[in-house]
A and B are shown apart, each in its own frame.
Chain A
Amino acid sequence: MREQVILRVITKLLTPFILMFGLYVIMHGEISPGGGFQGGVILAAAFILYSLVFGVHASRAVLSRRVTDALAGGGALIYAGVGTVTMALGGEFLDYNMLIPADAPAGQALGITLVEIGVGITVAAVMITIFNELSEHG
């Protein structure tokens, strides 16, 4: 891919915007279509595009294997952690009302945002892992 100037330049230009859009979809899932799953996939798409054009090694230099492994588990841990926190605060598992007892709907909104972030992190990390492992195969 060394001599594909157009691909390399366009990829470098597009990657930050794709990442930004992925984050937007995750964070804006409460208001517009989208959420953790879709945003996570878009985040992963940015890294996969980068891997395709510059090689998996360049992508690994940004996000190493150790980091994606940790993020894959970390996202699910955030989700389950929110549930555990609500239990510790005296509610049921994933009862977001407990996050802000004085204003239950705000607690719901906060809880939904947090778990969507968790979903997004896990989905993005797993998709990046799958692609990298497949493309390094053999």
Chain B
Amino acid sequence: MTDLDLNITTQIDRFSSEPLVNSSLSEVDDKSSTSQDTSFFYVSKEYLDFRARDFNTISILLSSVVIKTFQIAGVNFLLEFENGMYHLTHPVWSLSGSGHTLIEAEMNLRREASDIFDFYNESSLFSLSNDALKFRDYLMSITGRYARSER
């Protein structure tokens, strides 16, 4: 075992029980992408990935971390990888999609948008909260469907 291996092992013992998701989140926020860039890093529960910026600083990333923002129809979604599945989630709306590949997750999200559209489209505008109104507009744009005439 090299000095680096020993250092890493020590750091894992020290940090593995601490929540590191927040630090990872802020890290991702700093480099949020607005394009459909699929390059990212990830870790699973089975495999801890640690990056050594130098021999003194080691960052351990646990599973279920946001690994990238991913834009769909002009809106940023958070991309996570957990238990072998890709998950796209919106920071506010419940709209999400999962799949074994990123494309599969996006298709799942678009299908979900189509399924959920009528539940918002058939509601009176006055019965929707502000976030729901924005969500409804987004559902229209992503599904290519139109709003019914307002009562």
Q: Please say whether chains A and B are actual partners in one complex.
A: no
